[in-house]
Amino acid sequence: MSDGENQDQSPGRGKGNGRTPPDADPVLPRVATGDPAAINECYDRFGGLVWSLARRFCPNASDAEDAVQEIFIDVWKSAARYDSEIASETTFVAMIARRRLIDRNRRRQRRPPMPTLPEQAAAPAEAVGEEEQSEDVRLAAEAFEKLRPEQKQVLRLAIHHGCSHEQIATTTGMPLGTVKTHARRGLIKIREILRAQGKLMDEAGNRPGEDDS
């Protein structure tokens, strides 16, 4: 994906196709109460997101299916602490998914390599699950565009597969220290921009604008 891709979303709530915005009717609070219907709805809403992430991080479809199962259990366990004032449900679910997938990757790297099945071609990039883009995702896209080209290059590699600094250095030919600096400063910049727009809490648990020195 080029830097300019995914920038065709209009500000606000995405493509305006008349569907319900993703966070207009939050499902996680209902998942937390044990509502059986909410579990199905949660999967329908975020299954595409989680599956796409898992396919990207996992070596084969079977591993991705196991990961998706684990991620949705994590989501179910964490649903009660979702706070709509901090992030959208989409971002919350993606955060949980990324953590699990990065953790699985780290564990996998400690094991002997397993033979992997050939990668299946991805289905066309049609709307999957969520047709609308959450505000924090739109803001993240805008923030990403404000980064320096080298930061974008490194951050894209880091985020896409959870590539290590060494792997990125090998791929890009950049010195290891430069890779680390670009990855960290790039993400810090995006976080700062999101916080400036009233998103996320800081390390002290403060919301934007609250004790934000």
As measured in angstroms, the least distance from the Cβ of 17 to another protein is 15
Please say which residue, 17 or 203, places its beta carbon nearer to another protein. Answer: 203
How far, in Å, CA of 94 to CA of 110, rounded?
A: 24
Q: How far is Cα of residue 109 from the mean position of the Cα atoms in its chain?
A: 21
How far, in Å, CA of 156 to CA of 3, rounded?
A: 9
How far, in Å, CA of 54 to CA of 100, rounded?
A: 9
Please say whether the beta carbons of 86 and 201 come within 8 A.
yes
How far, in Å, CA of 40 to CA of 139, rounded?
A: 29
Please say which residue, 32 or 178, places its beta carbon nearer to another protein. Answer: 32
Please say which residue, 25 or 103, places its beta carbon nearer to another protein. Answer: 103
As measured in angstroms, the least distance from the Cβ of 112 to another protein is 19
Tokens found for residue 71? 């991620």
Q: How far is Cα of residue 69 from the mean position of the Cα atoms in its chain?
A: 17
Tokens found for residue 28? 């996680």
As measured in angstroms, the least distance from the Cβ of 107 to another protein is 9
As measured in angstroms, the least distance from the Cβ of 184 to another protein is 4
Please say which residue, 24 or 203, places its beta carbon nearer to another protein. Answer: 203
As measured in angstroms, the least distance from the Cβ of 39 to another protein is 5
Please say which residue, 85 or 116, places its beta carbon nearer to another protein. Answer: 85
Q: How many CB atoms lie within 10 A of CB 133?
A: 23
As measured in angstroms, the least distance from the Cβ of 128 to another protein is 4
Residue entry with tokens 């590699």: 157
Q: What's the Cα-to-Cα distance from 73 to each of 20, 130, 149, 153, 191, rounded to whole Å?
A: 25, 20, 37, 33, 27
Please say which residue, 99 or 116, places its beta carbon nearer to another protein. Answer: 99
